[in-house]
Amino acid sequence: MRRLLRYGLVALALAASARADTDGPARHGLRVPAADARAPAQTYLTYPEWFLVFSPAEYAALLRTDSPSAFPWFAHIGQFWSAYGQVIDATRGYPFNREYHTMIVVIGSSTTVEYGLEGAYETLVGRLTELTAPPNATPEDRLAAREAQDYVDFIRVRPWYEFDFAARLKALWTETPPGGPHLLRKWERRYLLTSEWGAKAIYGWLIGKATHATFEAPRETTLAVVRDLPPELAIPGVRRLGAEGDMVLLELPRYQGFTGAATTLARHGVRFVEIAGNRGPILVSRVAPTTAPMPPSARVLIRQPILSHPGLQRWVFEVPVAKLSGVLSDGGPVEHVFDY
């Protein structure tokens, strides 16, 4: 979901140029090569994209024990647009990235339509058939719950349009029996899932074709300069590219893989100096109780309740790159590091 239209629908020229980092350019020392640097505003602009990963993840978690009508479809629409408004405020001092803002508006609008339709259907139709069967009572419900989790696991690292909806549609009609208990619920789910997965399979195929014909493959790595790297430390997906004095240039996996790799480095005492050419603020998110203390070096940017888990809240906060290791190693939960 996070690369839905950046590479599939929006064909605008990249107009953003990087503002000077908050801490200013380094006067000496190892730097990330300019070709691998990204604009500092990107750590903020990627949050709306990642909300469209967090939201399906919350839905998948709910389906383990509850029915789809219990998901707060319309409230999630509100959370997306509210967070985007806060991102706009946070990036006013940076060059305006027209392409990225266009992409966010388009995916936000399409998600608003999708969630609006799903919310209306589950409230009016799904809730009626739920009266005839408990949660996950039919093979179709259980298949949908597995697909929801598979989808979330997939889009954490790959574009949504590469997900194999066709295989799930085939499984719906070949691996679930046509008869059995709760027939009303069973066939209502078959109708819904056939319509949904069939449409997404066709749409995803079209988006994939357009993407591969129009755009180069996106970079799958993020470069970072670090200090205090133990010589013997080996982390899957992390590669040493060079060193100068006590600083080391590393190649780390991008997207969700960056969070795991950066957390492992931090917990081994490694300190970040620069990430993707930036030494200023970087965003980190946590899901924690509403009363949980935040790191003293952090400035909270966004707070959103986890609507299906009362008492939990998503905290999105800014922290200087130089203090990131302390945040990642303080024992608090880490949901995501937004690596530009």
Identify the bridge partners of residue 247 per DSSP, sorted by sequence position.
Answer: 227, 244
Q: How does pLDDT run across 79-122, given as a tens digit for each residue?
A: 999 999 999 999 999 999 998 999 899 899 999 999 999 999 99
pLDDT range class, residue 207, cuts 50, 70, 90: confident
pLDDT range class, residue 215, cuts 50, 70, 90: low
Q: Which residue in the block uniquely carries the two structure tokens 């590219």?
A: 241
pLDDT at residue 24, rounded to an integer: 40
Provide CB contacts within 8 A for 169, sequence distance 6+: 193, 194, 197, 198, 201
Contact 30, 244 (CB under 8 A): yes
pLDDT at residue 51, rounded to an integer: 98
Tell me: pLDDT of 293 over 60.
yes
Please state, rounded to an integer, the average pLDDT across all residues of the chain.
90
Q: How far apart are CA 299 and CA 278, in angstroms?
A: 18
Phi, psi for residue 40 in degrees, rounded to 5: -60, -25
pLDDT at residue 3, rounded to an integer: 42
Widest distance between CA atoms in the chain: 72
pLDDT at residue 216, rounded to an integer: 66
- C-alpha to C-alpha distances, 5 to 9, 57, 68, 103, 248, nearest whole angstrom: 5, 20, 27, 6, 35
Tallying the residues shown for the chain, one arrives at 340
Provide CB contacts within 8 A for 219, sequence distance 6+: 36, 254
Q: How does pLDDT run across 227-257, given as a tens digit for each residue?
A: 999 999 999 999 999 999 999 999 999 999 9
